[in-house]
């Protein structure tokens, strides 16, 4: 793994270099972190605006983020003429959309929208072998569980109040800023890697 690539490969040197350049050109880390940050922003604003455990923006943010991400990845791969690996962007988007009709509302109430967003990005980051994505997604899961999920609320003996929603919204927005900063840093690293390589 070079200093300019923080998404690891496990192939031989020539394949690693070619794979690294394709991954850099596909903007794997920056695109995924950007979408995770934007989704977290929508969820955080929804929590602050609604002050209700589950708002419609929270419910729709998860499938919307994964549909947009799938579109970006598909268009980028077509434009580059790169065969897409079996990462599963399309499956995650399909599952997120179908979940609207088959249980997303209870899931968002139980574990929080940010946690669900984090699960999808954890799978993507793991499949892409890109630790900044899966590590940030893991943080999203934890932040979502601790701040919004009903079981965590009961376990931590926190009551529903305006302040609990404000703190959950602020924590989600702080996470969003961190994810967006990670996206910007990853974009810089990707640009440097493409110039050097």
Note whether residue 190 is domain-resident.
yes
Angle at 177 between CA 194 and CA 38, to 5 degrees: 75
Note whether residue 1 is domain-resident.
no
Token output for 160: 């529903």
Token output for 188: 């810089």
Between 88 and 152, the more confident residue is 88
- What is the C-alpha to C-alpha distance for residues 82 and 117, in angstroms, rounded to an integer? 27
Q: What is the pLDDT of residues 27-82, one digit of tens each?
A: 788 999 999 999 999 999 998 887 566 678 888 999 999 999 999 988 887 877 76
Note whether residue 3 is domain-resident.
no
* pTM, full prediction: 0.84
Q: What is the pLDDT of residues 93-115, one digit of tens each?
A: 999 898 888 876 777 878 888 99
| Consecutive H or E run containing 133 | helix 131-147
Note whether residue 6 is domain-resident.
no
- What is the C-alpha to C-alpha distance for residues 155 and 27, in angstroms, rounded to an integer? 40
- Mean pLDDT (the chain) is 81
Note whether residue 7 is domain-resident.
no
Note whether residue 4 is domain-resident.
no
Note whether residue 152 is domain-resident.
yes
Tell me if 32 sits within 8 A of 134, measured CB to CB.
no
Note whether residue 58 is domain-resident.
yes
For the chain, first and last CA: distance in Å? 13
Please give the tally of structural domains in the chain. Answer: 1
- What is the C-alpha to C-alpha distance for residues 42 and 32, in angstroms, rounded to an integer? 15
Three-class secondary structure assignment of 26-72: HCHHHHHHHHHHHHHHHHHHHHHHHCCCCCHHHHHHHHHHHHHHHHH
For residue 57, the enclosing domain spans 13-196
């Amino acid at each position: 793994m070079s200093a300019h690539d923080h998404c690891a490969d496990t192939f031989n040197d020539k394949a690693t270099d070619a794979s690294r350049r394709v991954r850099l050109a596909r903007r794997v880390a920056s695109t995924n972190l950007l979408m995770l940050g934007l989704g977290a922003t929508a969820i955080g604003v929804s929590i602050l605006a609604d002050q209700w455990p589950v708002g419609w923006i929270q419910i729709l943010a998860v499938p919307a983020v994964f549909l947009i991400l799938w579109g970006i990845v598909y268009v980028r791969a077509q434009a580059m003429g790169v065969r897409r690996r079996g990462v599963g962007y399309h499956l995650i988007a399909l599952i997120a959309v179908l979940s609207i009709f088959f249980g997303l509302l209870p899931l968002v109430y139980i574990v929080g929208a940010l946690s669900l967003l984090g699960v999808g990005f954890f799978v993507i980051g793991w499949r892409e072998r890109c630790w900044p994505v899966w590590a940030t997604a893991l943080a999203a899961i934890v932040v979502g569980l601790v701040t919004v999920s009903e079981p965590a609320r009961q376990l931590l003996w926190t009551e529903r109040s305006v302040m609990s929603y404000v703190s959950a919204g602020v924590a989600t927005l702080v996470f969003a800023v961190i994810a967006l900063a990670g996206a910007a840093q990853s974009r810089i690293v990707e640009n440097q890697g493409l110039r050097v390589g």
